[in-house]
Structure 1
């Protein structure tokens, strides 16, 4: 029997077709942490010529800040996608020598006195203060005529304007999102550091071409706001590429699906594993829900300063494997995406 390997997602509760000749009982569900995810599809082989990141260039609209009212931001919703349970072929994540980029932090907010936020933590509000409360934010955009949300992180970059997020938070099902803004330090409808519209959104070549879950990494270059550049205002976290598996990590995001409502910065922490099922992603004990996609994962995270080296993003979770989040390995293609974004 010939079977297709791609599905049409359900959007905002509207049922969509499952793969041809495949029964509903034969399917599991892969839930995107922020919006939708595509199926695992094979792309090029390791060792081939390095493909270049895809991108969308837009003219930033000064009216986007007015468009994204507190009510619209609160109402932006995540979506779900059905996928086969049978393991699909995946590509090999490109790896080379490790690379680390130090954070850029012009001014650290004062840490809020609290009990230690030590490992492990399966999900709870971040009360430690530090740089992460300024660099991490919510991402808002329009997808298929609907307003949706993800999370993102301002990182150290040559253009002082680069945000990292998930690939499906910039492009999905062949279409780039519109009305894209980054709101660092978001809190319950408030934008204390402004709403930064994207001049350009990018994704790894594998996500751009076939939405391969192993490469679910996206980026945005945001326009200056009030004559200032992003990291001059909020600072930028460092990065780490090709840093290996099975490490202590902290994950941050703004989950907006129950039991969360998107109003607060939530974090998880623990020792990661390599996904034994569909992908080559990191796995972390975490109960963050829809809306957290694209939020940063840090290695060598310092709780006192709220700084670390970003080495993944919230990407997806399996419905049949509760309280576990998965994020892509930051290999050569993620590094190339970052390099392209920061030089844009």
Structure 2
């Protein structure tokens, strides 16, 4: 039943590029698709354009998309955004929190996550928009993990992409880091498949220093067991939040309803997309192992947030980014 529902509401495509070798009796061979990559200028003038006023005015990405009615789950899932609209069945959302207590609130704990996590800004469709992201340990000390739709959407890569770790109401306490390249899974690059809504950016040095030398980096892991307790962070900027501060949720996770990802009770809204999910999170130290990102919500049950499972394709994005 679950697989039938998923196939009815989600666009699933393999994205495989098939290469045929011309030789007697040789079978067709499938070649794994490459990680998508988009190179940016990364000039410091891009950072200068992201003034405190511009950052405060940036619109959560979901608000720049056409609103879908509550029956259009396929549209919501295909886009892979944290699109939240008022459901017609409000009673359902009133009753469910009694069974699944709703999570979400300003992070009170401090620690490393207040520097590694941050807000992402970019230009999409000629408008200034926002998501969230997180700095992770990497070979080049310059990798930010985020959602695939926070680097590319509707067939176009975002431009003017910057990462502001520790963003605080227009303030950039650790600087504004320009991206020189952004990456997405092959499946997101080809068809924007929600199951693979994973992206990354490699940022330029700032004042001669690499990103994680300045803010530190969280660990990252792939192919981990499902159903574990996790913490999620982000900068939601749609009601009831305004994007000014970091919000978090925590609790048990479960298999997603309409994708192959994972879910969590969380009331974060648009703008939180791309924010990190952590395993083994230490509240005192503010450290954990990143294992997903905020990806999407569905209209009928807005108290749940969903993220992609970090498998081999997500690992491929990370590997390509840290080698760039």
In the alignment, structure 1 residue 77 sits paired with structure 2 residue 59: yes
Does the aligned pair in 1 maintain the 2:15–2:191 contact within 8 Å? no
1:107-256 alignment to 2 at 5 Å? 122-256=103-237
Does the aligned pair in 1 maintain the 2:102–2:267 contact within 8 Å? no
Q: Distance in 2 between matches of 1:234 and 1:88?
A: 34
- 1:40: which partner in 2? 11
The structure richer in helix per residue is 2
**Normalization by structure 1: what TM-score?**
0.77
Q: Distance in 1 between matches of 2:200 and 2:77?
A: 26
Deviation at 1:51, TM superposition (A): 2.2
Deviation at 1:127, TM superposition (A): 1.1
In the alignment, structure 1 residue 61 sits paired with structure 2 residue 43: yes
Q: Deviations over 1:2-31 (max 9, x none)?
A: xxxxxxxxxxxxxxxxxxxxxxxxx99xxx
SS in 2 for 1:249: strand
Deviation at 1:85, TM superposition (A): 3.7
Q: Distance in 2 between matches of 1:244 and 1:89?
A: 24
Does the aligned pair in 1 maintain the 2:77–2:298 contact within 8 Å? no
SS in 2 for 1:272: strand
- 2:272: which partner in 1? 292
Distance 1:174 1:230, change over 3 A: same
Does the aligned pair in 2 maintain the 1:42–1:89 contact within 8 Å? no
Gaps of 5+ in 2: 1-7, 17-28, 79-100
Tell me which stretches of 4 or more aligned residues in structure 1 moved more than 4 Å. 86-90
- 1:18: which partner in 2? none
Deviation at 1:44, TM superposition (A): 4.3
Deviation at 1:86, TM superposition (A): 6.4
Distance 1:59 1:44, change over 3 A: closer
Deviation at 1:62, TM superposition (A): 1.1
Does the aligned pair in 2 maintain the 1:121–1:267 contact within 8 Å? no
Deviation at 1:245, TM superposition (A): 1.2
Deviation at 1:43, TM superposition (A): 1.8
Q: Distance in 2 between matches of 1:313 and 1:212?
A: 15
Q: Distance in 1 between matches of 2:163 and 2:104?
A: 23
Deviation at 1:50, TM superposition (A): 3.1
Match of 1:304 among 265, 284, 293: 284
In the alignment, structure 1 residue 336 sits paired with structure 2 residue 307: no
Does the aligned pair in 2 maintain the 1:280–1:328 contact within 8 Å? yes
Distance 1:128 1:89, change over 3 A: closer
Deviation at 1:164, TM superposition (A): 0.3
**Normalization by structure 2: what TM-score?**
0.81
Distance 1:255 1:194, change over 3 A: same
Distance 1:312 1:291, change over 3 A: same
Q: Distance in 1 between matches of 2:76 and 2:232?
A: 27
Pairwise CA RMSD: 2.4
Q: Distance in 1 between matches of 2:213 and 2:137?
A: 10
Gaps of 5+ in 1: 1-26, 29-38, 91-119
Q: Deviations over 1:149-191 (max 9, x none)?
A: 0000000000000000000000011110000000000000000
Q: Distance in 2 between matches of 1:61 and 1:324?
A: 38
SS in 2 for 1:316: coil
Deviation at 1:84, TM superposition (A): 3.6
In the alignment, structure 1 residue 281 sits paired with structure 2 residue 261: yes
Q: Distance in 1 between matches of 2:301 and 2:168?
A: 30
